[in-house]
Amino acid sequence: MADANQIIDNEVKSNDVVLFMKGTPQFPMCGFSGQVVQILNYLGVPYKGVNVLEDETVRQGIKDYSNWPTIPQLYVKGEFVGGCDITREMFQAGELQQLFADKGIQVQQSA
């Protein structure tokens, strides 16, 4: 079986946008994960949600992988963006939308 770092690295590199979260995009299990899901859904950005509650090694491994202590964690084109607060602040400032544009990811949000 692959170790957590390999699993995480594969998810980050094989998905343009990936959210390591508690729960699923359809059923977030914490408010912070839910907020990031709402932002991504609002923007209409396709993304993959990885439920860290299903695998304790991934839950701890993602914290080590990013050197970031909290979940959720958002990655865009292999780059760690941040957690809930950073994602929300970037969204409110228009920076998240710009990041997606810069990375060639379509935002489906209606103006």
- CA–CA–CA angle 38, 42, 48 (5° rounding): 65
Question: Which two structure tokens, joined as six digits, stand for 99?
Answer: 């990041």
- How many CB atoms neighbour CB 94 within 10 A? 9
Q: Which helix (H) or strand (E) covers residue 81, if one does?
A: strand 79-82
Report the first-to-last Cα separation within the chain, whole angstroms: 46
Distance CA 66, CA 76 (A): 13
State whether the Cα torsion 39-44-48-51 is positive or negative: positive
Is 84 assigned a ligand-binding role in the annotation?
no
List binding-site positions for [2Fe-2S] cluster: 30
List binding-site positions: 30
